[in-house]
Structure 1
Amino acid sequence: NLVEIDLLLCGSHTVAVSPDMLRPANGSVRYLVCVVRDSAPKQREIYHLPLRERLKPIRIPLRPADQDVILDLQPLIDRCYQTGRYWQTDYTRPLPQPLNAEDTAWATALLQQAELL
């Protein structure tokens, strides 16, 4: 089994899927997860993760006889943020790939609410 979690904000996606599977029709997704099961190696389970939404739980396959385990990504990311040195990040610097106007307004409001701007 293979589980790829792509939380990159810019650059090329790192998951092993064809480009037409990367974006949903509305194009508002920044992050994604790709699951490939050993029992069906040509099939891909794609989780589209919009920037402005809480990260969804994903199904992690185990052995074919075992039930999938549910992995809730958001608490993991929250923990990384809490224990990392993100308080040192200069959030006034421009991103390498700017967000669209709506995402910028949303991110700015979050940063102001957290007193990081």
Structure 2
Amino acid sequence: ERLGKPWHYLISISRADAPEFWLYPRTVRERLPVIPIPLAIGESEVALDLQAIFNQCYEDGAYADVIDYRQPPPPPSFGSEDEVWIDELLKGKGLR
């Protein structure tokens, strides 16, 4: 637990022309965020819906057909409550 809340994944965004960066901590249970993506120097950011992109890549890549969801998830490691949540989610989708 760092950054004030527990997380499994960190999304980091930075601009080439600035030393600052932004972190978006997420747990496995949270929807991926819509994040601002910097374009050219001096231009405004554009909104990027990471969850929508992830969902589209998952469908286009047919990952449901190639991933064996009966196996434990790969790292990062999850606590027992998250493992139960993951198991119930996958069972609800018919993947376990």
TM-score class, shorter-chain normalisation, is 0.7 to 0.9
Offset of 1:63 from its aligned partner? Answer: 2.2
Offset of 1:68 from its aligned partner? Answer: 0.5
Question: Hey, what does 1:43 align to over in structure 2?
Answer: 20
Aligned Cα RMSD in Å? 1.9
Question: Hey, what does 1:108 align to over in structure 2?
Answer: 87
SS of 1:33's partner is strand
Larger strand percent: 1
Alignment coverage as a number of residue pairs: 94
Offset of 1:88 from its aligned partner? Answer: 2.7
Give the TM-score of the pair, scaled to structure 1.
0.70
Which residues of 2 match residues 16-55 of structure 1 at below 5 A? 23-26=2-5, 28-40=6-18, 42-55=19-32
Question: Hey, what does 1:60 align to over in structure 2?
Answer: 37
Segments of 4+ moved more than 4 angstroms: none
CA displacement 1:60-88 (0-9 Å, x = unmatched)? 01123211001000011111111223223
Question: Which one of the candidate residues 53, 57, 61 is aligned to 1:84?
Answer: 61
Give the TM-score of the pair, scaled to structure 2.
0.83
Distance in 2 between the 1:88 and 1:111 partners?
A: 15
Question: Which one of the candidate residues 51, 71, 80 is aligned to 1:93?
Answer: 71
